[in-house]
Structures are given as structure tokens and as C-alpha cells.
Amino acid sequence: MSKIKSVDLFNKSDIAHIDNFIFSKEYPWELLGLIKDYIVSLINKGIPGYTKLKDDVLVGQDVTIYETATIIGPCILGNHVEVRPGAFIRGSVLVGDDCVVGNSSELKNCVLMRHCQVPHYNYVGDSILGNFAHMGAGSILSNLRSDNKPVIIHGDEEIPTGIRKIGAILGDHVDIGCGAVLNPGTIIGQNTQVYPLVMTRGVYKENSIVKSTTVVVEKN
């Protein structure tokens, strides 16, 4: 089977509450239905060095939130996070340190580990982004099939998840090109680059360049 387990896709972020969650399940999509409750439990318990922005939003140190950004909880933002103008965080979002949530980007029910960038006009729903993952301007993580049926992971074998909404799982150091659309259940291995305007479907191995939906070459 392709490398689609959490331990294959992510290295530790060295942020305890992020790592404890990410590696608590064998497969990353198993975490999606647990994000909200986990965030609420952390907010109720508190994280050393974090403060409450409001009852259901917890933020770390040196966080920058522009005036026109909208944050709906439950949400946790790590240290040195920047939330730019027009960003819309609409609940169940867990963000690690040194991340950027950019102008007009929308996040819901997702985890960004560390040093993630979703900087311009991005949609991230029901997804997990590994350390140093980057999304180019206008790239979209689609999370719902057109027929509303549960998402199937199309890897070496078909894996029925039983989950209606799954966006994409991006491993560490994945780079998504501008305008790319990742279909529900896409999994991208570590250090892989997706070209601009590409539409992806299925599982893509690590250390690759995705030139089109079906054309994938190994990085030199």
C-alpha cells in the first residue's frame, strides 16, 4: 500500500499538542471527526503561554490578526501566526506555530502543523497540512464529492472511509501550485510538488513532481 499513514506523511512538529493529536491515529483522515472536540478540550484545559482571545479562541504569543479577519471558534492559533485581511476561519481549526492564513483564505475543520502557508485565496476544508506545506494562490482543497457520497481514497487499493467530507492530506514540505484543485481524498506524500492548474485525484508518492492528474515524475 502507498505510504498514507500519519507516520509516513508527517515528522514531529515539536509542538506537543499538535503532535499528540496528529499521531494519535494510524491514518490521518481518522482525525477529521475529532478536531473540534480536541480543540475544545485544549481550550478548557489551557496551554502554557497561550491566552484566550475570546471564550472559544486560544492564541499563542506574537500572533498578528488583521482587523478585517474573521475567526469563529473553536480555534487555536500557535505562536507567531499571521492572519491576514479578509481571512475567514470558521470553526474547528488548529494552527501550529509560524503559519500564515492569507487574505481571503477560508479554513474549516482542519489542522495546520508548523510553518504552513495558505497565503492567497485558498480554501482548506476537512484537511491536514504537514510541516512547511505551502499552497499557491487560488489553490483549493475540495472536500465534498459532487454526488455527496462518502469519500474513497484511491491508492494502491480503494479505501472506503465512510466519511462524507474529506479534503486533502498534504505531507511535510508539499508545495501546491497556483490554481490547482485537489479533489476529495487526495493524499500528497512528503516533498512533492504539484504544478499550477493541475487537478489531482488519489495518492501521490513522496519526492515527486505532479505535472498533471496522471503524469508524475520522480524528483532528481
Residue 108 domain flag:
yes
Under the phi-then-psi rule, with left for phi > 0, alpha for psi from -120 to 50, and beta for the rest, what region is 175?
A: beta
The model's pLDDT over 72-93, given as tens digits with 9 standing for 90+, comes to 999 999 999 999 999 999 999 9
pLDDT of residue 213: 86
Residue 70 domain flag:
yes
Task: Kindly indicate the confidence band of residue 1, based on its pLDDT and cuts at 50, 70 and 90.
Answer: very low
Q: How many residues does the chain have?
A: 220
Residue 185 domain flag:
no
Expressed as residue numbers, the domain containing 139 is: 6-169
Residue 178 domain flag:
no
Q: What is the mean pLDDT of the chain?
A: 96
pLDDT of residue 76: 98
Across residues 35-49, what is the average pLDDT? 97
Q: In total, how many domains does the chain have?
A: 1
Looking up cell 488548529, which residue turns up?
94
The residues carrying an active-site annotation are 120
CA 206, CA 201: separation in Å to the nearest integer?
15
Residue 94 domain flag:
yes
pLDDT of residue 142: 97
CATH number of residue 35's parent domain: 2.160.10.10
pTM of the model: 0.96
Residue 73 domain flag:
yes
Across residues 101-116, what is the average pLDDT? 97
pLDDT of 196 strictly over 70:
yes
The model's pLDDT over 115-124, given as tens digits with 9 standing for 90+, comes to 999 999 999 9
CA 79, CA 145: separation in Å to the nearest integer?
35
The model's pLDDT over 158-167, given as tens digits with 9 standing for 90+, comes to 999 999 999 9
